[in-house]
A and B are shown apart, each in its own frame.
Chain A
């Protein structure tokens, strides 16, 4: 764990750069993390991010399949929004923990 300043706020982040405390998140922080990952956020991105945050608060397990059935985007669109890391990048930008893949 380390501390990183993002959008002027000191944040605790995991070794992979995921926020440790999702309540510290705000849209400015999201934009800055996204820029680091080479993504420019649009309102559609924020719809996905908010969906992920709501599901995380409800302690639901997040999967690409689940997001694809959310009614917000299908899997293909999710890949267009977050190329290379549909679930990992979106989780990082949404300020939620790294997705765990079931074993």
Chain B
């Protein structure tokens, strides 16, 4: 019996188990998947949890529900990977593999920033990238009286890079609805040189910040948080005061990656951009947020990657050359508040563009333009996630590689 081992049963790992089980003979291949938690979280829902749009139960389910029959599902912490010996150590158990898929994702590392875990953590300083963080923030917002709200990104890369901006837009709507927008001052602080990571987006979408009266501070590389003065300080000694700080701490791969000597300085694994094979070990493949590929760390990206990776695992097992196929395709909804959203579609080399999606001329979704349709799309994504994405069912009409049909290349990025 040959052994395929998947580390991590989040978005990407679960999809791979669902893709591969029907394609590998039960009497030839044993498939095992390991995760430390029983619960599978719908992380995109963490954006809505603080604003009481989603309830706790809408964003978590038992992970077991999504595992296909014939897959061994182990709930244990992964202690170390030994790539030279093709084995993985769990708490009190050792697993051997012929092919390994690493899908251990990324998580926040607030300890990387001086003062972030100080006395104000979870009192006036929150994250919403964890279930606990989003929930604590919800409770805080419910009776917050207003003041200076600072939404802040520590450093790139972070998963779902647009989430902090969406958070700012939703905060604007939330406080307007509560009739207290005049008591809240919103500032968006980024280490980048513009609100969006993609220059064409900054050109097309800067109006949103003005319209919603959100101030922006760019090129801010945080050095520390001063808990006494309630300011964040950057390396150039610029200070930004806050009453409520919502921060996206440094995002890193799991420490097991570092411990196993497989990662870069953020514990992300060097991975071939197009085949998703690890650069150092030919029987190790990497998918989702755990890779170091320069694509968005997003569920939609993991979904496109999973289709390519499934083919490549089968090719690898059969002894054939791998497909150099994955193009960095990402397709993200951006909530802009007031029940509207934008949709962006891009890849490693092509910036987001205007146009219709997924059908040229028809749409119904509009790229890079706010619409109610897109907002429904974002909300529908939760249903799609639980019912299609995790089970490895292809989303109709949306292909793994970026399509150029119906797209208009009319925006020149602002360059300075």
In the complex, the chain A residue whose C-beta lies closest to that of B156 is A101
Of A2-10, A31-39, A40-48, A61-69, the one contacting chain B is A61-69
Quick check: is B15 within 8 A (CB to CB) of the other chain? Answer: no
Quick check: is A51 within 8 A (CB to CB) of the other chain? Answer: no
When distances are taken between beta carbons in the complex, the residues of chain A under 8 Å from B265 are: 65-66, 69
* Contact flags B298-334 to A (C-beta < 8 A → 1, else 0): 0000000000000000000000000000000010000
Question: B197: which of A63, A83, A103 is its contact (CB, 8 Å)?
Answer: A103
In the complex, the chain B residue whose C-beta lies closest to that of A77 is B235
When distances are taken between beta carbons in the complex, the residues of chain B under 8 Å from A76 are: 223, 235
When distances are taken between beta carbons in the complex, the residues of chain B under 8 Å from A86 are: 221, 235
The answer for the CA separation of A78 and B235 in the assembled complex, in Å, is 9
Within 8 A of B (CB), among A47-83: 61, 63-66, 69, 75-76, 78-79, 83
Question: B295: which of A63, A75, A100, A103 is its contact (CB, 8 Å)?
Answer: A103
Smallest CB separation, B156 vs chain A (Å): 5
In the complex, the chain A residue whose C-beta lies closest to that of B112 is A65
When distances are taken between beta carbons in the complex, the residues of chain B under 8 Å from A100 are: 294
Within 8 A of B (CB), among A80-103: 83-86, 88, 100-103
Smallest CB separation, A15 vs chain B (Å): 5
Contact at B197–A65, with CB atoms within 8 Å? no
What is the predominant secondary structure among interface residues of chain B facing chain A? loop
When distances are taken between beta carbons in the complex, the residues of chain A under 8 Å from B416 are: 16
The answer for the CA separation of A85 and B236 in the assembled complex, in Å, is 10
Smallest CB separation, B396 vs chain A (Å): 26
Contact at A64–B330, with CB atoms within 8 Å? no
When distances are taken between beta carbons in the complex, the residues of chain A under 8 Å from B193 are: 88
Within 8 A of A (CB), among B250-294: 265-266, 292, 294
The answer for the CA separation of A85 and B292 in the assembled complex, in Å, is 24
Smallest CB separation, B331 vs chain A (Å): 13
Contact at B155–A64, with CB atoms within 8 Å? yes
Smallest CB separation, A89 vs chain B (Å): 11
The answer for the CA separation of A75 and B222 in the assembled complex, in Å, is 10
Within 8 A of A (CB), among B146-162: 155-157, 161
Contact at A61–B192, with CB atoms within 8 Å? no
When distances are taken between beta carbons in the complex, the residues of chain B under 8 Å from A78 are: 235
* Contact flags B167-198 to A (C-beta < 8 A → 1, else 0): 00000000000000000000000011100011
Smallest CB separation, A78 vs chain B (Å): 8
Question: A101: which of B192, B235, B236, B415 is its contact (CB, 8 Å)?
Answer: B192
Question: A79: which of B197, B236, B295 is its contact (CB, 8 Å)?
Answer: B236
Contact at A61–B236, with CB atoms within 8 Å? no
When distances are taken between beta carbons in the complex, the residues of chain A under 8 Å from B191 are: 64, 101
The answer for the CA separation of A103 and B157 in the assembled complex, in Å, is 6
Quick check: is B219 within 8 A (CB to CB) of the other chain? Answer: yes
Smallest CB separation, B254 vs chain A (Å): 18
The answer for the CA separation of A53 and B83 in the assembled complex, in Å, is 31
Beyond the given pairs A64-B221, A69-B265, A79-B236, 15 more chain A to chain B contacts, judged by CB atoms under 8 angstroms and listed by A's residue number, are: A15-B415, A61-B292, A64-B155, A65-B266, A76-B223, A76-B235, A78-B235, A100-B294, A101-B157, A101-B191, A102-B156, A103-B157, A103-B294, A103-B296, A103-B330
Which residues in B have some Cβ–Cβ distance to A below 8 Å? 155-157, 161, 191-193, 197-198, 219, 221, 223, 235-236, 265-266, 292, 294-296, 330, 346, 415-416
Give 20 CB contacts A-B under 8 Å: A15-B415, A61-B294, A64-B221, A65-B155, A65-B266, A66-B265, A75-B221, A79-B221, A79-B236, A85-B219, A86-B221, A101-B157, A101-B197, A102-B197, A102-B294, A103-B157, A103-B161, A103-B197, A103-B295, A103-B346
